């Protein structure tokens, strides 16, 4: 009997010793609490890329990155407009998030192992699948990246683009001279002035820049090769699992809403749905919002304020002429596949 009692005590002690700490159990979120107390989400975006984050004629920041920020604000605060956008560069974006200047970063930033492993930051999802491309002047007659052997290429330093170009040219035994310029407007003007043969960044950014040239857009050609995978997404600090979960599931809710036919136009009607999947999404069944630390109608606030993923795409990226392609839903040939909301 004593041996059994001793064994039981040891097992009980072991169970206590290996119990997860309170913080790991996810009882709260310092970031969500701060955002609620402040009454505003602080979100890092780019200094201006059409379709992603660019101020319109009224000074309102528009784009898929900006709307991703708005969606998280709607999930936490119930109002998609309670966001302060902070323009960041390729060199200060990570330190701004690490230091706490930002709550989250949505700045056409590529998800890589090095960034997630070394920076103390986490990618909470992919809001845009992209790849490195090259823009050239039509008059140059360049038809392929391989025609750029010996060329000068404008690229921002400290980006995944810089590494992708170096890898591609080395692999294909080609030579190039990088023209490294940090400021976005300056690098674009350098290319337009003819001081580099090509301008390289994410293909979506190149399409956006070309679109902004208006009647002169035909003077520029986006080469057919996409030389890298660039999954662009939302970044948060490590150590706050609740906020990470909320940011990730906010995007999934928008994707699921599109898949389920739930939109900003029919959200009130969908609150009456008898479909269990839709009921859980809109919070009329279950306590999934509570599990994330927000109101059970969190997804309703997101959809009402920003729309589903397809609506967001149509409003921000589609006007640039970008096809959905791999950014479509999984059941339409794309990569967006939301895990079950249940």
Helical spans, DSSP H, in the chain: 2-17, 30-38, 64-77, 93-98, 113-118, 160-171, 184-192, 203-212, 241-260, 267-270, 276-282, 288-292, 298-305, 309-316
Instruction: Give the list of residues 6+ apart from residue 1 with CB closer than 8 angstroms, or none.
Output: none
Q: Give the whole-angstrom CA distance, residue 283 versus residue 280.
A: 5
State the pLDDT at residue 27.
52
State the pLDDT at residue 28.
77
Q: Where does CATH 3.40.190.10 sit in the chain? A: 30-130+231-322, 132-228
Q: Which CATH superfamily is domain 30-130+231-322 in?
A: Periplasmic binding protein-like II (3.40.190.10)
Q: Are 221 and 148 contacting, i.e. CB atoms less than 8 angstroms apart? A: no
pLDDT string in tens for the chain (342-residue length): 444 444 444 444 444 333 333 333 345 799 999 999 999 999 999 998 989 999 999 999 999 999 999 999 999 999 999 999 999 998 999 999 999 999 999 999 999 999 999 999 999 999 999 999 999 999 999 999 999 999 999 999 989 999 999 999 999 999 999 999 999 999 999 999 999 999 999 998 898 899 889 999 999 999 999 999 999 999 999 999 999 999 999 999 999 999 999 999 999 999 999 999 999 999 999 999 999 999 999 999 999 999 999 999 999 999 988 889 999 999 999 999 999 999
Is 132-228 assigned to CATH 3.40.190.10?
yes
Residue 200, beta-bridge partner list: 134
Instruction: Give the list of residues 6+ apart from residue 59 with CB closer than 8 angstroms, or none.
Output: none
Judge if pTM exceeds 0.75.
yes
Residue appearing with tokens 């200047």: 101
């Amino acid at each position: 009997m004593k041996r059994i009692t001793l064994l039981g005590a040891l097992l009980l002690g072991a169970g206590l010793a290996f119990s997860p700490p309170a913080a790991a159990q996810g009882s709260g979120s310092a970031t969500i609490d701060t955002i609620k107390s402040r009454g505003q989400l602080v979100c890092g975006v780019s200094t201006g890329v059409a379709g992603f984050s660019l101020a319109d004629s009224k000074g309102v920041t528009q784009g898929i990155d900006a709307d991703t920020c708005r969606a998280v604000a709607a999930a936490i605060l119930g109002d998609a407009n309670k966001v302060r956008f902070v323009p960041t560069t390729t060199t200060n974006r990570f330190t701004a998030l690490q230091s706490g200047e930002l709550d989250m970063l949505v700045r056409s930033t590529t998800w890589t192992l090095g960034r997630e492993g070394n920076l103390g930051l986490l990618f909470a999802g992919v809001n845009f699948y992209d790849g490195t491309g090259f823009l050239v002047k039509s008059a140059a007659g360049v038809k392929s990246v391989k025609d750029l052997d010996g060329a000068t290429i404008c690229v921002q330093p400290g980006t995944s683009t810089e590494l992708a170009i170096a890898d591609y040219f080395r692999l294909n035994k080609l030579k190039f001279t990088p023209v490294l310029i940090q400021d976005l407007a300056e690098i674009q003007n350098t290319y337009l002035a003819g001081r580099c043969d090509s301008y390289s960044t994410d293909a979506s950014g190149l399409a956006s820049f070309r679109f902004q040239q208006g009647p002169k857009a035909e003077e520029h050609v986006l080469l057919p090769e996409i030389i890298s995978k660039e999954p662009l997404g939302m970044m948060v600090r490590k150590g706050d699992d609740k906020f990470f979960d909320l940011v990730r599931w906010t995007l999934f809710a928008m994707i699921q809403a599109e898949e389920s036919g739930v939109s900003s136009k029919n959200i009130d009607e969908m609150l009456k749905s008898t479909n269990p999947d839709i009921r859980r999404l809109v919070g009329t069944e279950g306590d999934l919002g509570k599990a994330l630390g927000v109101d059970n109608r969190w997804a309703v606030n997101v959809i009402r304020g920003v729309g589903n993923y397809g609506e967001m795409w149509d409003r921000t990226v589609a006007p640039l002429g970008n096809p959905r392609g791999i950014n479509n839903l999984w059941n339409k040939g794309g990569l967006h596949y939301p895990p079950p909301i249940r």
